[in-house]
Amino acid sequence: MAAAPASSPVEFLLRRPPPRQRRRPPLAGAFFAPTGLSGAPLLRALASLAADLLASPRPPSQRRNLDALMRRLALLSALLDSLLLALGDEGEGAFSDAANLCFRELYVVLFRADLLVSYVASAGRAWALLRGPHLAASFRDLDAELAVVLDVLPAASLRLSWDAAEQLDLLRARCRRRAPGQYHDPAEATLRDRLLAALRHFEFGQPLDHSKLKSLLVQIGISDAASCRAEIEYLEEQILSQEEDTDLPLVGGVVALLRYCLFSLFDPGNTKASRVWPSTGDRQRLLSWSSSDDSSFSVPKEFSCPISLDLMRDPVVVSTGQTYDRPSIIQWIEEGHSTCPNSGQALADNRLVPNRALRSLISQWCGVHGFRYDSPESNEGMIECVAASCSSKAAIEANKATARILVRMLVEGSDSEKPVAAREIRLLAKTGKQNRAFIAELGAIPLLCRLLLSSDWMAQENAVTALLNLSIYEPNKTRIMEQEGCLRLIVSVLKNGWTTEAKENAAATLFSLSVVHDYKKKIMNEPGAVEELASMLTRGTARGKKDAVMALFNLSTHPESSSRMLESSAVVALIESLRNDTVSEEATGALALLMKQPTIVHLVGSSETVITSLVGLMRRGTPKGKENAVSALYEICRRGGSTLAQRVAKIPGLNTVIQNITLTGTKRAKKKASLIVKMCQRSQMPSALALGSTLTVVDHSLVGNSTLRRAASFGSGELSNPVSISVPVP
């Protein structure tokens, strides 16, 4: 039996616009003083930094603490100006070592103050309210650090004027004077309590009336659809950043509340993305830009993976500090390498840290040049993170209320409102099985199916992706398959969709539906379904090929799939895909399952290139890929007769590969590798005998390895118990 693909339907939920660069929490990380500065140059740098802080715009959040900080900075700026004036033409040797050390530490404090002010200024209003106590604590810590630096500053050695000494004393007093309770703003605390109370109303199934909700949002600083959407996106970004002390259910509840407000209080149509349809030339360039000869669209070297030389979709940093695309470095490690491909240094561990800054730059570059950048949004930890944020009763009830509005928009809305509703249902169905369940229960699936026929590319793309996300919930698979004409419409989008993403997500939907064994035959019998999957596997984008091969793998597990796959040219597409490292493992697994029909066996086994590709996958693939390749070779030898077995036995290097599989392969791979040896020996070819004798030598030198011992002991004669491939049941 071929190994099942590593991906699951959940993987297809992780499709959203490329994330913005995430903001770090204030005062996080270590900072170092400028060691190259001292005396007057250091003082001028301090004065410049203080002046920039004073000139920066003040955000509406944390006004009490920001005002207090600015008053201290005004005193500090005046003190620094006095010192600079007193220094005159003196240079770096104007101060003692102790004074220079204190001024360097003061530079670090001001730098941290700048980070804190920038963080508050860029934070969403709702996020700033929820994090109010933490932000207040950051301002308190900043005052404490400033007080320590000023206390140890050797004032006597600075030759301060009387006015400057007064300013220093006043500044010291103000840094010590604030009590801990003075950092908390009562007005912001009241507003935060009102926001939490609104959530509790949803929890009890009694949402506030619209006038009270709107009044609350206006006081927070959310006055229209655009600002509401921006708040939602910011909070979702914070959920994905997974800060340790973030209350995920609370933040998720606020996101659900704001999404409800977006559709119940504002006009969400005002926030729609540009609907400009790309020209034919632009669409072609989106598909072929990576291989374009136009130097103006060549991929910057910094954005290319050093291993694959392709644009990085999911850049990650290894322990040596080098950046690679995640799939490429994972394959490198799984092949047994323990060094960094670029530097040759030993990898201290196999941890991969997302390089979000680089991913953001790649996304921006793609946006400037008009390219779609499909970046993986999450990993399993992020899936759990998002699911946790939707788990509170308040979030569930708010999302239910939003879903009712959205489904009503699909029924009664205008042509411009329906695409917006489909997009929001698509996003809502990304998180939590509760969301997927009640969206379907409200009757969204037949309404989304109608939009698959839309001439509006945005409506079609969002509708098919919403169906994909809904199909992750098992009962919804039945609803989709039993909806009259829905499968036909999904195949129609796969064939004639307006956008590449719509076609790819249609293929992904077929993969998700084909997980259920009873639906495999129905999908195969749908006219054009298998043919279009084969076409995408041959001519699609990298992601499209992956979607198509996963669907074909699932369909191949059906016992009656062989003839349909053969007549639809899917077998030929799978054979051609063996040369593509992105999909070769799944393609090999599908071929191994399909080779129950002699015609397919001879079609696959008659090509020496195909057999060489399978042996190559046995050599360098992942454990799953190696097992699939062994299974395919086993079927060729078992069902193709002595002629094909002899062809397999002649492949150079096969004996070494078989030895490695019997030592390091999975249990199933070891067993089938042993059977391949026996079938090659039965073919009575010299190379097969050489293969057997090689393994016999290994057996003598590795006494105790039962797998090798069995492989070496195989002689001529009939197979007493033929092994058949069992079909994996999902």
**Alpha-carbon gap, residue 609 to 312, rounded angstroms:** 30
CB distance 565 to 571 below 8 Å: yes
Whether residues 419 and 513 fall in one domain: no
42 and 79 together in one domain? yes
705 pLDDT higher than 60? no
Domain match, 152 and 171 both = yes
Q: Is the pLDDT of residue 250 over 70?
A: yes
pLDDT of 348 strictly over 50? yes
Examine the pLDDT at 257 and tell me if it is beyond 80.
yes
Within 10 angstroms of residue 342's Cβ, the number of other Cβ atoms is 14
> What mean pLDDT is predicted for residues 91-99?
70
Residue 168 covered by a domain: yes
pLDDT at 524 over 80: yes
| pLDDT the model gives residue 297 | 52
Identify the CATH number of the domain in which residue 526 sits. 1.25.10.10
User: Residue 491's closest CA among 460, 524, 528?
Assistant: 528
Q: Select, from the ranges 24-33, 361-370, 474-483, 669-678, the one with the highest average predicted confidence (pLDDT).
A: 474-483
Domain presence at residue 359:
no
Instruction: Assign 317 to helix, strand or coil.
Output: strand
Same domain flag for 28 and 168? yes
| Same domain, yes or no: 607 and 660 | yes
Residue partners of 443: CB distance under 8 A and separation at least 6: 407
426 assigned to some structural domain: yes
Is residue 518 pLDDT above 80, yes or no? yes
Domain boundary residue, one of 453, 476, 499: 476
| 3-state class (DSSP) for residue 212 | helix
- How far from the centroid of its chain's Cα atoms is residue 271's Cα? 25
Q: Does residue 514 belong to any structural domain of this protein? A: yes
In a domain, 408, yes or no: yes
**Nearest one of 366, 361, 347, 354 to 325, comparing CA atoms:** 354
Return the top range by mean pLDDT from 186-200, 637-651, 672-686: 186-200
- Res 467: pLDDT: 92
Tell whether 210 and 176 lie within a shared domain.
Answer: no
Residues 415 and 548 in one domain: no
| Residue 337: how many other CB atoms lie within 10 Å | 12
For the entire predicted model, the pTM comes to 0.67
Domain-located, residue 143? yes
With vertex at residue 152, the alpha carbon angle to CA 80 and CA 109, rounded to the nearest 5 degrees, is 55
Question: Which residue spans within 196-326 are E strands per DSSP?
Answer: 315-317, 323-325
Q: Which of 96-105, 343-352, 713-722 has the lowest average pLDDT? A: 713-722
pLDDT, tens digit, for every residue of 154-165? Answer: 877 777 778 778
- Residues 158 and 76 both lie in one domain: yes
Find the range with the poorest average confidence among 124-133, 286-295, 363-372, 435-444.
Answer: 286-295
Clarify whether residues 175 and 87 are in a common domain.
yes
CA 389 to chain centre: 17
Question: What range defines the domain where residue 440 resides?
Answer: 201-268+381-476
Q: What angle (nearest 5°) sits at the alpha carbon of residue 561, between those of residues 635 and 556?
A: 65
Which candidate, 238, 249, 245, 248, places its Cα nearest to that of 203?
249
Tens digit of pLDDT for each residue in 596-629?
777 777 777 777 777 777 777 777 777 787 888 8
Question: Which position has the token pair 């004393």?
Answer: 169
Sequence-distant contacts of 322-330: CB under 8 A, at least 24 apart:
323/355, 323/358, 326/352, 326/376, 327/582
Task: Please check whether residues 96 and 230 belong to one and the same domain.
Answer: no
Q: Mean pLDDT over residues 695-708, rounded?
A: 35
Taking all residues of the chain, what is their mean pLDDT, rounded to a whole number?
75
Q: Please give the span between the terminal C-alpha atoms of the chain, in angstroms, as a whole number.
A: 13
Q: What is the mean pLDDT of residues 52-71?
A: 86
Taking every pair of Cα atoms in the chain, the longest distance, rounded to a whole number of angstroms, is 108
The answer as to whether 717 is a domain residue is: no
CATH (domain of 399): 1.25.10
Model confidence band, residue 376 (pLDDT cutoffs 50, 70, 90): low
- pLDDT computed for residue 144 by the predictor: 87
Q: Is the pLDDT of residue 663 over 80?
A: no
* Mean predicted confidence (pLDDT) in 201-227: 86
Q: Is residue 722 very low, low, confident or very high in pLDDT (cuts 50, 70, 90)?
A: very low
Q: Long-range contacts made by residues 625-628, C-beta under 8 angstroms, separation at least 24?
A: 625/3, 625/584, 625/585, 625/588, 626/661, 626/665, 626/666, 626/669, 627/2, 627/3, 627/665, 627/666, 627/668, 627/669, 628/2, 628/3, 628/585, 628/586, 628/588, 628/589, 628/592
Higher pLDDT, 110 or 677: 110
**Do 390 and 246 share a structural domain?**
yes
**Per-residue pLDDT averaged across 230-250, rounded?**
76
Q: Do the Cβ atoms of 87 and 148 come closer than 8 Å?
A: no
What is the C-alpha to C-alpha distance for residues 335 and 352, in angstroms, rounded to an integer?
A: 16
pLDDT in tens, 471-513: 888 889 989 888 888 888 998 898 888 888 888 889 899 988 8
H/E/C letters for each residue in 672-711?
Answer: HHHHHHHHHHHCCCHHHHHHHHHHHHHHHHCCCCHHHHHH
* Domain's final residue, options 476, 510, 531: 476
The mean pLDDT value for 122-150 works out to: 87
Indicate the number of domains in the chain.
4
pLDDT > 80? residue 29 = no
| Confidence band for 35, pLDDT divided at 50, 70 and 90 | low
Report whether 18 contacts 378 (CB < 8 A).
Answer: no
Written as one letter, the residue type at 701 is S
In a domain, 18, yes or no: no
pLDDT tens digits, 414-448: 888 888 888 888 888 887 788 888 899 988 889 99
pLDDT of residue 324: 92
Identify the pLDDT of residue 689.
43
SS3 350: coil
Q: If phi over 0 gives left and psi between -120 and 50 gives alpha, with beta otherwise, what is residue 443?
A: left
Q: Which residues of 675-701 are buried (b: 16+ CB within 10 A; e: fewer)?
A: bbbbbbbbbebebbeebbebbbebbee
Q: Which of 563, 594, 625 is the last residue of a domain?
A: 594
pLDDT band at 730 (very low <50, low <70, confident <90, very high): very low
Same domain, 630 and 489: no
Query: Using one digit for the tens of pLDDT, what is the confidence trace for 443-470?
Result: 888 999 988 888 888 888 989 999 998 9
